[in-house]
Every structure is written in C-alpha cells, then in structure tokens.
Structure 1
C-alpha cells in the first residue's frame, strides 16, 4: 500500500523507534506530521530533516505530553496517529512525576486530540513487553507468552518497577479511552529494542548494549533478553495501520536469549572485542525458561530480522557514530 497523499502523525518523533518509523513512512510516500519536545534542539530535529523525502513531506511540530491540546495541530488532517512518545528512564527519584504522569496523562492528551479529528482512521500505540510479562503468574519453563498476558500494576508497584508500571497503566488508559470514544486502537508491545541508530544521542537500550559490548556486562543477571530489531518494530507500526484486520495488541520479540548467547554471537562476529577472554567457555546448555509467541506479529506480515544481523548492524552503527572503537 502506498502512502502517497496520506498524512499521518508520529509523536515523540526524535526517539529511537520513532525516528525509524518516520524514515519508513517517508520511504512509503506518506506525509508525516512529527512532534518533538523542542524545535530549537538540533539533536531532536536534524536527523529527521535529513531523511529522504523530509523536505517535501515532513512537518515538525512542538508538543508537550503534559499539556492538553498540545497535539491538536499535529494530528489535524491525519489518517493515523502513531503514539510513541513516553519517557524511558532507568533511575527515577519521583516515579509519578517522571514516568507515570507523562506516560498516562500524555497518552490521554494525545488520544483526546486524536478523537477530535474526523479523518482519523486508527491510533497505533507503542507499549512494551514490560506491560505483558510482569503479572501475577511468573513465566515458567515451557511457557509461551502471548498477547493474552498482562502485567499487574500492583506487582509492578510492589517491586518498584516504575517503567513497567508506567507502560502498563498507559496501555490500560488508552484501551479504555479508545473503547469509550470509538477510536480504533492497535497496540505494539516491543521487547528490548536493538539495531542501528538514526538519532544522534544514545537511547537507554542502545546504551545498555554499548556497555555490554565494551565490558561484557550482563544487564539482567541470570535473566532473559527479549530482543527485537528496531526496524521490525517500526514496520509493525505501519502494518498495524495499513492492515484493516489489525486488532488488539502485538508482542514484538524476535528472539528471547540469555546473556551468554548474545556474547557468543558478538565473539563470533567481533573476536577482536576479546569477550572470549572475559567469559568462561562452554556451550549455553540451559533451556530457555519461556518463549514469546511470534504468531500474531507474523500474521500481521512482520518478518523478524535474525538476531545475528541485528547485533552486527548495532555494532556497525555504534562504530559509525564513534561510540565504539576496536
């Protein structure tokens, strides 16, 4: 399907996933209304304005998640709103102010603007696997996690998992608002996003991968990395809009992998990084504790990028930006 003559809005357009979403939308011929927090910050705008097709079909708008009506101008005349804007912070002093309010109230502010637009056909919300896997049932060996799994806000709060709480509450608020206001809402739930970077500054997940590449550090000791390529996530958003049968939520995890498996791939591709010296040799024989179903995402038309390709492209992107040298 060609996007020629069709206008769509992307919120938080300078972010990691959103930058790729803007790029792929422009590549498909769409006219894109992109919101950023500040039009005066070149780190938020320059890489977007440099994209192919941007000069002809990209308009930037300044918008603030905390201000009701802030997104009215950007969504006006659009067929779809891709709402990606939401804070991603590892350390917070005030979870309510720093994460929860911007995620929940910000989502509702965007949806309130969207509900005013008669031309609007659909809203695609960027949620997270953080809103899927932290429920009252802990995944066990052999479990298959799918779109029917939901994180429990009480459990997230008890464990002080503030990002998970913010994404869970924001998704809940969006689903309820859409139902009450007749909006067609589709939700994308990505795992840990890796792959090449378009924006000039490091996002949280890319920074984590950079640390792992530099010193072999395991960010989730003993845990699983629910990995997905940023380009696959961006494509899934577009497919969710273009496919009239798209509905509900879509788990986006290309591969669940333990730290050891990731480091073996890195060592195979880039032996000069020296990770074989830093870790014990031996095969990763532990069975995966659980899997994440790709069935619904693949039914949408998503073709997942192999993990080895995603890791290679991540490393090459970090090298290109002079963030990693070896």
Structure 2
C-alpha cells in the first residue's frame, strides 16, 4: 500500500454525521481527503470541516449532489479509495428520479462507474445500513434464528411501526447495496467493493446538533414518540436493535482500506439489544430521567447476532453498548436536547 501521506481518498457526504467523523479520522491518520458536500456555500458545514486538524494541508472540498451523480467525478479523480457515505434522506423532486430509491441506485452506479474509469481507485467502500439485513423470513412466518451477512430484507412483509418514509429508506439502502455488490462481483471491473452495513450509530460526533440516529437512541429519555416509533420499527425489522459507536464505524471504514483482500459484505455492530434493555439501562444509570412504563415492557425474542465476519478478518470493536448509550446522553446534553 502507498504511504498514507501520499494516498488520496474520497468521502462522499462529508458533512453528515458519519461523513464528518470519517473525514476527521482520515485526516488524523495521515490521509489526503477529497470530501463532497451538497453545497459549498453552506458556511456552517464548510467551516466545520475546515476547522479539523490537518484540514489546511490535506483536505479538499468538492460540491456534489446525489441527484446529479456526474458531479462526483472531479472529487474521485486521483483517489485510491472511495468511501460512498452520502445517501438521500428525503426525496428531492424536480429531477428525473421518481423517488429516493431510484436516486440512491442511480448514484451508486454512477460512482462505481467513475471509480472504474478513473484507473486509480482500487476499492470502493459503501456505507450500507443494517436495515438491508433483516432476519425476517421471506414467507412472513417470523425470524431466522440468527442475523448475519446472509440476511436480506424482504420488501413485501408488513412490519409494525413502519411508515412510507422508513419503508422507502429501507428499500433504497437494500437495493443499492445489492447493486454495488453485483458490480464488485464482476471481475472485468477490477474494482474491489466492500459494503459496511452499519447498525444504529450512536456516541458523540462533530456536528453541533444531535443527529437522527442518536435521537432514536435517546427517544425514551426525551419521551419523543415519533423517534421512539422509529426505534421500534428498527427492532421489529431486525429482531433486536444492532448498535455501534461512531468511533468504531470510522475505525471499521479505515480498516477496510488498510487490510488487504477485504471485499464483499460486512455487518458492523458491536451490540444487539432490545429497546427494553436500552430503557432499563437509562432507568438504572440516569434516575433523573423519568421513563414511561411502556418503554420497559416489550416482547422477548430469541434471535441471535450471528455475524463475526468483520472480526474474523482482524477488526475489533472498542465501544460496548454502555459506552454508546452514555456517549449519546453526553452528546445530547452538549447539543441542548437534554
């Protein structure tokens, strides 16, 4: 591998929760980073990234929008590794795409194509989501006994607590991951593809506000019914809730470029817990918060976390469930949500 100081990497969606943390980690690790943002005129996001240590010497910002995927070309040129983190959360109308699903898939195809044509990019790492890896059985008869990389979310099963927003997001992330893995399996492309299916990401971050995934993890503490419903949707979809610390997410992404012969699909979560277990932890450790009784009652499911694929190639998690939840509370306090 080239020495880190010479190695250029690209991060799409560089101003988001995972994107900004990853840019920060890559700079700390000596990489030169090309980061994309939807709008270079957004001073709050640009200022945040430019304020990172080593940004002056090694960070280059580019404007690119998922809905105009050809814009990513300039940022990818000359890079050895590309992290595709950006994903549309809300659908933007007025483009040729009918919905978020079309936009997400179209962007991933275009970015993969640019990587292949570049002749410099060796590996494309896609920040996938565990919503694509539901252990629900295709026939709707319940869950498989374990959740691992062989699981793919069935689209035609009714999941409690779902709504149009989460259904569309789930399908977009699932179809996009399947698409990118297909591209990686085509040996003619000479592009190594890794998908990191991340659990619900918690812990601190660089953004000045509490991010949506952290809001889900503290929904019981702040008694936010909308966020709690989404947490429960995730639990019904996944059997339990896979969670992972933002720092481990960044370490896993960097691990996937620094480790030879890593390719294919990896689930990335350090803990697999129920919403009741989360509520009980808060109740025992933060008695100042008054939790609704409903949060402490829920179904018991026997499903197990069966994925060790990432650890089998040498990765180890540094943050357990307690640290994730504690850091979510701290982050929310800093951001003024608690």
TM-score band, normalised by the shorter chain? 0.7 to 0.9
Match in the other structure for 1:232? 248
Residue among 329, 333, 336 paired with 1:315: 329
Provide the rounded CA distance (Å) in 2 between the counterparts of 1:174 and 1:3.
Answer: 26
Name the SS for the 1:212 alignment partner.
coil
The alpha carbon displacement at 1:266 in A equals: 1.4
How many residues are matched?
Answer: 318
Give how far 1:152 is off: 3.2
2:206 is the counterpart of 1:190: no
**Partner deviation per Cα, 1:123-154 (whole Å, 9 max, x = no partner):** 00011111111561668577111111122355
Q: Deviations over 1:49-99 (max 9, x none)?
A: 111111111111001122242111101111100001112359x9x9x6442
- Alignment of 1:100 with 2:101, yes or no, is yes
The aligned residue for residue 297 of structure 1 is 310
Unpaired runs of at least 5, structure 1: none
Match of 1:151 in 2: 153
Cα distance 1:280–1:72, how it changes in 2: closer, same or farther (>3 A)? closer
TM-score (norm: length of structure 1): 0.87
Q: What is aligned with 2:320?
A: 306
Question: Is the alpha carbon distance of 1:40 and 1:258 closer, same or farther for their aligned partners in structure 2, counting shifts above 3 Å?
Answer: same
What SS class does the counterpart of residue 220 from structure 2 fall into? Answer: helix
Q: Distance in 2 between matches of 1:322 and 1:228?
A: 23
CA contact (8 A) 1:140 1:290 kept: no
Distance in structure 2 (CA, Å) of the matches to 1:304 and 1:99 = 34
CA apart distance, 1:281: 10
1:57 aligns with 2:73: no
Q: Secondary structure at the match of 2:219?
A: helix
Shift of 1:121: 1.2
In structure 2, C-alpha distance between the alignment counterparts of 1:31 and 1:297, rounded to whole Å: 25
CA contact (8 A) 2:241 2:275 kept: yes
- Give the direction of change, closer, same or farther, for the CA distance of 1:49–1:281 in structure 2 (3 Å limit): closer
**What is the Cα deviation at residue 104 of structure 1?**
0.6
8 Å contact from structure 1 (residues 3, 25) kept in 2: no
Summarize the alignment of residues 173-322 of structure 1 with structure 2, pairs less than 5 Å apart: 173-180=179-186, 181-215=189-223, 217=225, 218-219=228-229, 220=232, 223=236, 224-275=240-291, 278-279=292-293, 287-300=300-313, 301-322=315-336
Partner of 2:131: 130
Q: Which of 172-181 and 134-143 deviates more?
A: 134-143
Distance 1:281 1:4, change over 3 A: closer
1:5 and 2:6 correspond = yes
Q: In the superposition, relative to structure 1, how do residues 229 and 141 fare at CA in structure 2: closer, same or farther (>3 Å)?
A: same
Does the Cα contact within 8 Å between 2:116 and 2:191 map onto a contact in 1?
yes
Which residue number in structure 2 is paired with residue 16 of structure 1? Answer: 17
Contact 1:135 1:150 in 2 (8 A): no
Do the aligned partners of 1:228 and 1:254 also contact (CA within 8 Å) in 2? yes
TM-score, structure 2 as length reference: 0.84
Aligned with 1:71: secondary structure? helix
C-alpha RMSD of matched pairs (Å): 2.9
